[in-house]
Amino acid sequence: MICRYFKVAHRDMVFLKFILEAYEGMNVMSTVDNKAGIIRIAIMPGFVDDIDELLADLGRQVPMEPVEWHEEPCAF
């Protein structure tokens, strides 16, 4: 599983969650630090290119700042 971490505005978290949930089985989005607005998008093997393309497109609509996050492992 590949994880990507982003800092996003709280108002955009629900929108992103609904969009990413539409790609069921390809990824899982979760909030890792609600106060700071940090989300994790865990991408299932085989879908990394598809989700990266989706995230690039979403990034044109919703400000998403990639961040490093080492406080918890990328595992489910």
Q: Are 16 and 54 in contact (CB under 8 A)?
A: no
Segment 11-60, tens digit of pLDDT: 999 999 999 999 999 999 999 999 999 999 999 999 999 999 999 999 99
Kindly report the pTM of this predicted structure.
0.88
User: What residues have CB less than 8 Å from 40, skipping those under 6 apart?
Assistant: 3, 4, 5, 29, 30, 31, 32, 69, 74
Calpha distance 24→34 (Å, rounded): 23
Rounded distance, CA 7 to CA 39, Å? 6
Torsion of CA 28, 36, 55, 52, to 10 degrees: -70
